[in-house]
Amino acid sequence: MRRFREYGNGYVKEAIFAPLFKFLEACFELAVPLIIAFVVDTIIPHSNHEQLIAMILLLVLFAVVGVIVALTAQYYSAKAAVGYTKELTQDLYKKVLSLPKSSRDHLSSDSLLTRLSSDTLQIQTGINIFLRLFLRAPIVVFGSLVMAFYISPSLSLDFLAMIALLFLIVSAVSVMASRFYLLMRKSLDRLVGQVRESLTGMRVIRAFGQTLREIRFFQQVNLTYTREQLTAGFWSSLLTPATFLVVNSTLLILLYQGKLAIGQGSLNQGMLVALINYLSQILVELVKMVMVISTLNQSFTSVGRLNEIFEQKSEDIEQPFPYASVSEVWTLVVDDLSFTYPSAAEHALTALSFRAKKGEFFGIIGGTGAGKSTLVDLLVQLYPVAPQHLALFKPDGHSPVNLREWREQFAWVGQQAQLFSGTIRSNLLLGRQSASDEDLWEALEMAQAKDFVLEKGGLEAEVEAFGRNFSGGQRQRLTIARALLQEAPILILDDATSALDYLTERRLLTAIQTALPDKLLIMISQRTNSLSQADQILVLDQGRQVGLGSHEELLRTCAIYQEIDQSQHCQEVSHED
């Protein structure tokens, strides 16, 4: 937890001033009952109006100064809490981006999103309340106890017994509530995941008429979260009535014993009023402390969840690779490659072997779940692969020496076109920051995107988040143009032309092969027409390599490829009336 303490180093002044001003506010409040006791015991019996007015003015002054002091404490506590959380969130975001894909899969995107938003906000709230209230409450409680001992040592024993009993109650309830807060956070992860999944697949859900099923499933997840939240709230809610019960019982005892003390002449009426006021102050502060402890329990739960991320090992992109042997031709080699996901029992890929050379068009095809995207993840080393199973060979011998250089060899366009809010220019420059306007237009022309970009207003045309103001095909062509700007020797199109018609797709592939003849083009597609001009086509079925060759060769030798091709080229049978 030392990491979390470091974020407060820049806010030491605020962390000191906030409770200090709260201490001053508490001192003013502790002085008020004594002034009231002085008025009741001394001023009112002697009808001293001048002193009465002076005491009233003094109380008004305490109130004004107390408000100023309280606002100042609020300012410093908020500044410390927001500043602390800002730096924590920035480091947490960097940490998430540095995690290897296996760690992100283990933690899940939904959980990471919740921790980056809800958990950091909960920590900010906990720090703010801690600086404002948690230190103020002990000051008032301890100060009231001291003042009560000053007024009547015998009656102050009731205060001690009350505080000890409340401490035991608060400790027991807090331990129980903290367990349910952790379960509640995990349920919130699942709820966020369900909402995100439903929003992402909204069109599919409607197309298949599964709206009611999704609503029922959401209700089940939400009901679980609600039950856990109610359980945690139930345990937390016990603190307030328990506090009132103990304090009011103490008040009854105090009134009874105070009446006896007044009758014996050992206590004045004003002093009894002061004791009751101090007891009331303790009640108010303990109720606040109950709220603070409930909030801090949730904050500590959030701290543990964030610490789980920080303890994950970051991906070392400078990790050295063994040097590959010199080859006569620039070649990507996959040799007996198998892979199993960490949480899976069976292989996702089994014994794949192929070679792809510079300037080739290499296709990958297979049914849903055949392992096509998994193979791409391994090619770019999102999951580590041993060098004997995956290597790059270059004539000059300058093969990648680490993970960063390896990934620089690949430009990748995924199945989902990822565009960011901004302009077309800002999105394209993510591929290469130093690209000129001429480079941008050249990439757009190769990607068959130049015409609609001109219609939209050029490079400065607005792009909404996720590219919502573009069609699916336009988004795909923009992401392909961005990848072409990377100048990587290998371009991977992972089903990145699925929204394009055959003519546009053919023009795009022809333009890339003509303008960039030395680039190795690896294309994943569900359509045999898209891969018909490929030099080699790898056919996958349930993670196994069932075919490798040209389009014509596979039509003769590979049954799976024949089935895929026939299903896409079925001819209608005409029936005579």
Domain regions of the chain by residue span: 2-310, 327-409+488-568, 417-487
* pLDDT computed for residue 577 by the predictor: 38
Q: Are 331 and 305 in contact (CB under 8 A)?
A: no
286-318: per-residue pLDDT in tens? 767 777 777 887 888 888 889 989 988 988 888
Tell me the mean pLDDT in the region 83-98.
Answer: 91
The backbone torsions φ and ψ at residue 307, rounded to the nearest 5 degrees and listed phi first, read: -65, -30
The tokens describing 517, both together, are 């003849």
Q: At the fourth CATH level, which superfamily is domain 2-310? A: ABC transporter type 1, transmembrane domain (1.20.1560.10)
CATH class, 417-487 region:
alpha beta
Question: Mind spelling out the 3-state secondary structure of 176-227?
Answer: HHHHHHHHHHHHHHHHHHHHHHHHHCHHHHHHCCCHHHHHHHHHHHHHHHHH
* pLDDT computed for residue 325 by the predictor: 58
Of residues 56 and 280, more confidence is placed in 56
> What sign does the CA torsion over 388, 392, 394, 396 have?
negative
482-527: per-residue pLDDT in tens? 999 998 999 999 989 988 988 999 999 999 999 999 999 999 998 8
- Report how far Cα 397 is from the mean position of its chain's Cα atoms: 42
235-241 contacts: CB < 8 A, separation 24 or more?
235/173, 235/176, 235/177, 235/180, 236/173, 236/177, 236/290, 236/294, 236/297, 238/173, 239/169, 239/170, 239/173, 239/290, 239/293, 239/294, 240/287, 240/290
Q: Are 331 and 358 in contact (CB under 8 A)?
A: yes
pLDDT level of residue 214 (50, 70, 90 thresholds) = confident
Q: Which fold has domain 327-409+488-568?
A: Rossmann fold (3.40.50)
What is the secondary structure of 494-521 as a DSSP string? ESTTTTS-HHHHHHHHHHHHHH-TT-EE
Q: Look-up: residue for tokens 């964030």?
A: 306
96-149: per-residue pLDDT in tens? 989 988 888 888 887 888 888 888 998 999 898 888 877 777 777 777 777 777
* pLDDT computed for residue 278 by the predictor: 75
**What is each CA distance from 326 to 160, 331, 386, 393, 395, in whole angstroms?**
82, 10, 18, 6, 5
pLDDT level of residue 462 (50, 70, 90 thresholds) = very high
- Pick the closest to residue 451 from 428, 474, 467 (CA basis): 474
Range scoring the smallest mean pLDDT among 232-246, 363-377, 379-393: 232-246
Percent of the chain whose predicted confidence (pLDDT) is above 90? 29
* pLDDT computed for residue 118 by the predictor: 86
Q: Looking at the predicted structure, is the pLDDT value of residue 324 above 60?
A: no
169-184: per-residue pLDDT in tens? 777 777 777 777 777 7
For the chain, the helix, strand and coil percentages under 3-state DSSP, each to the nearest 5: 65, 10, 25
Domains 327-409+488-568 and 417-487 share a fold: yes
pTM recorded for the entire structure: 0.71
In sequence order, what are the residues at sequence separation of 6 or more whose Cβ sits closer than 8 angstroms to the Cβ of residue 17?
Answer: 72, 73, 76
